[in-house]
Structure 1
């Protein structure tokens, strides 16, 4: 019987993997590319963890999901997406309903485990250890074999969508990542070697964590070599009925320019603050010190100050987010919240204190997009890519909660967005020593029925779910936005001969209802009631 094993490498990019594979640094990746089908995997817009993993596992675009970022707009507040949208039916739910055994471990979009036909371990957005894993007792089983299970290198405040604690020094950061990879690779090995499964989806997040902090070959190559070695051992154990798929939720690259988006909107009069929240003298002094390269001296002086004075100074000088600003909403035209590049228009009839009429909506969007696209740094034009809502999310409406404009990270534009106020500059020049997300992730398929040495083009993140359903011979719900990646299958293979079958979403709803009825009848028979 066919099995599918999906390994997720959060943030992996062919920009790193292919040169290292070609040079022989990553022999397993090289072998998989030569004996499988591979290519880029276009992520969601913006290319962020949420909604990317949801789009991948639901087969749906952000527009269909109803959210484009982790924090979604609720008036002028922003709340975690899970509070505003119902949980989607994901690939393992469909497979469970058809009797397939599943192992799902460490996917970032799984914030709490649920009952499936198999095993589920939640990812780093987990709400609490009580619902970390299903079934009961599996976490103790894993921990007895691998040591106490680690969720991530950070602790996250899920209500605010921010990291609240984690490693402080580079050394501690590297050590935590190394420990996390060792812990997760052990857990994954234990599950796939000792448990029954037809479908498994396992995700490593250390790739993302390291690339955010260090865009250095010495650090990243060392880690990918660890992954390559683990993959090599995994491939040796695969039987001739298992299809292996490697994916990432988005790509990655170095950060050279950061756009401080609310600083721009503030400077152009689109964002208005009440008088008490306007940048203060303390901010100006710290900005001058930073630009004058006097920061090391200033730090030494600050350390000599009384603790309360020191804390007060640092607090005043630190850039602050939208949620901590006293905004004059009735005179605000546009605003941004997350570091993912989304911009919202303060539209009348949609926002509590809207200032832009529906007649002016298009003009305002055009103005803001033009300003952003014309930005320069020291006379050098930045080729910043800005998309309107309907370009990023076809079929979206003016009055939904999706962003009105989205800035897409590109190598020749800006690579990071900072919504905080207090930087004192619109564009921050970075040295490229740390990384951030890009639009193009990775896809690779290897195993029986898969073409060898095939480079594919045009794959999108929501093509993964329908392709997996097709491999299992299951019909694809018509509300999935993705397509089956038919070009990965060998000519005349079972997968290639089988034509994709599409069904109304109610097909699976009816099937689920039928299964519940069968179970209820079976239970009644066992109790002697019928």
Structure 2
């Protein structure tokens, strides 16, 4: 793709996490505009973060904007598309729990089955510490089936061809979390047997199949909203807060909210929340005291030493107001944590971090990734740095549509585009 078209680095949102990154890419706005900072809400009044879905978006996804009226879409495995809603085209949604209602139209699984394609959802292939081969095989099969579904839609084998096809492959992420250690120097696992390499090889084959479908009116954009790197361990921020007397545990080992000032936010948000009265059921911090208490908690966290390194755990504990100025900034944690050593990261809310088996992971996200584009909309050799929110205006340009004045991002395509005919994607 780099040889055929354009490419460059992509810098994630400040906290590299796929859920807000995908919302940024496909709404065209950052987290403080679209309001998604994790797979779960950051400020659950009863302290039990609920799973987010597409209704959480405070900005519309690209396919809901008036610019795409009359354009058919095919959406495959994209967070934010569940619960599934009718679209002009097809949708295989990204459900966060088991369901049989994850497609539009409802008979889409039947149409795909006739083509030998049987899509699998991520929630049905979950790592619990078992044998490697069945898990890796299940993850790779899920991506292969999703890719085959996207190709069947793109080729018009299940109905009218879409103008825009979006495919989200997750095997690289899923396997990098669990088997990153296989890629590090000194690993006893031969390269050919490394799970992460197999995920990249699958993605490469899918990109090859898509490149074969390029023509004078068809373009391809590939990107990752996050990068990846090694993880040594997660550190419980709640433990640091408890040691400073800012969080008190009850007899059952869970926080006694009536005696807690601050607590760790859910994973992905990478932050800490004040137990603010009026926001939480048992809030202890008066809104009038928020600024003073926030500064006290930040000072404690910035002095906290990581026992694994003997150095400070954080570069900074940043008040959300310094990072986020948009109308959805209230959905962010009160403090956003910037790790000093990205091999040691905040654990996240203990309820969900336990259920997602975080302590079994050896890899985690990074801020630096890539984008690459090939086909009619891209000029060979041209490229530059990008952000997730640049994806939406790029897709508009790939469709031959004028840039939307309200989108803050920049299209990554060539400067002069001719309109694409209906059916181009």
Residue number among 202, 210, 215 corresponding to 1:226 in the alignment: 202
Alignment-derived partner of residue 118 in structure 2: 148
Alignment-derived partner of residue 319 in structure 1: none
Determine whether 1:494 maps to 2:417: yes
Larger relative helix fraction: 1
Superposed displacement of residue 472, structure 1: 3.2
Determine whether 1:203 maps to 2:168: yes
Superposed displacement of residue 435, structure 1: 0.8
Alignment-derived partner of residue 415 in structure 1: 345
Superposed displacement of residue 48, structure 1: 2.0
CA distance in 2, matches of 1:170, 1:277: 34
Residues 384 and 414, structure 1, Cα contact 8 Å, conserved in 2? no
Tell me, which stretches of 5 or more residues in structure 2 are unaligned? Answer: 184-190, 354-358, 420-425
Alignment length, in residue pairs? 394
Residue number among 5, 15, 21 corresponding to 1:46 in the alignment: 15
Alignment-derived partner of residue 65 in structure 1: 34
Superposed displacement of residue 478, structure 1: 5.0
Residues 384 and 407, structure 1, Cα contact 8 Å, conserved in 2? yes
SS, match of residue 111 in structure 1 = coil
CA distance in 1, matches of 2:225, 2:216: 27
Alignment-derived partner of residue 390 in structure 2: 463
Alignment of 1:218-257 (within 5 A): 218=191, 219=194, 220-257=196-233
Alignment-derived partner of residue 25 in structure 2: 56
Determine whether 1:129 maps to 2:100: yes
Q: 1:410 and 1:187, CA in 2 relative to 1: closer, same or farther beyond 3 A?
A: farther
Superposed displacement of residue 479, structure 1: 4.7
Structure of larger gyration radius: 1
**TM-score where L is the length of structure 2:** 0.82
CA distance in 2, matches of 1:452, 1:112: 39
Alignment-derived partner of residue 277 in structure 1: 252
Q: 1:263 and 1:478, CA in 2 relative to 1: closer, same or farther beyond 3 A?
A: farther
Superposed displacement of residue 266, structure 1: 1.3
Q: 1:173 and 1:410, CA in 2 relative to 1: closer, same or farther beyond 3 A?
A: farther
Alignment-derived partner of residue 393 in structure 1: 324
Residues 153 and 177, structure 1, Cα contact 8 Å, conserved in 2? no
CA distance in 2, matches of 1:141, 1:343: 46
**TM-score where L is the length of structure 1:** 0.67
Alignment-derived partner of residue 472 in structure 1: 399
CA distance in 1, matches of 2:202, 2:53: 34
CA distance in 2, matches of 1:357, 1:126: 36
Q: 1:146 and 1:371, CA in 2 relative to 1: closer, same or farther beyond 3 A?
A: farther
Deviation track 1:96-132 (CA, whole Å, cap 9, x = no partner) reads 85211211111122113222211111124366212x2
Alignment-derived partner of residue 186 in structure 1: 148
Q: 1:353 and 1:475, CA in 2 relative to 1: closer, same or farther beyond 3 A?
A: farther
Deviation track 1:173-215 (CA, whole Å, cap 9, x = no partner) reads 1121232233222222222122412111111111111111110
CA distance in 2, matches of 1:35, 1:52: 26
Residue number among 108, 116, 125 corresponding to 2:79 in the alignment: 108
Determine whether 1:484 maps to 2:407: no
Residues 244 and 300, structure 2, Cα contact 8 Å, conserved in 1? no
Alignment RMSD: 3.1
Alignment-derived partner of residue 356 in structure 2: none
CA distance in 2, matches of 1:179, 1:473: 34
Alignment-derived partner of residue 422 in structure 2: none
Determine whether 1:75 maps to 2:45: yes
CA distance in 1, matches of 2:118, 2:133: 22
Alignment-derived partner of residue 348 in structure 1: 277
Deviation track 1:355-382 (CA, whole Å, cap 9, x = no partner) reads 2234542333233333333323355324
Alignment-derived partner of residue 285 in structure 1: none
Q: 1:404 and 1:381, CA in 2 relative to 1: closer, same or farther beyond 3 A?
A: same
Q: 1:455 and 1:88, CA in 2 relative to 1: closer, same or farther beyond 3 A?
A: closer
Alignment-derived partner of residue 303 in structure 1: none
Alignment of 1:296-445 (within 5 A): 325=254, 327-340=255-268, 341-374=270-303, 375-378=305-308, 380-382=310-312, 384-385=314-315, 386-395=317-326, 400-408=330-338, 412=342, 414-420=344-350, 434-445=362-373
CA distance in 1, matches of 2:328, 2:164: 37
Residues 111 and 126, structure 1, Cα contact 8 Å, conserved in 2? no
Residues 19 and 37, structure 2, Cα contact 8 Å, conserved in 1? yes
Superposed displacement of residue 397, structure 1: 8.3
Residue number among 367, 375, 389 corresponding to 1:447 in the alignment: 375
Q: Answer with 261-270 or 382-391: which moved more.
A: 382-391
Residue number among 261, 281, 301 corresponding to 2:237 in the alignment: 261
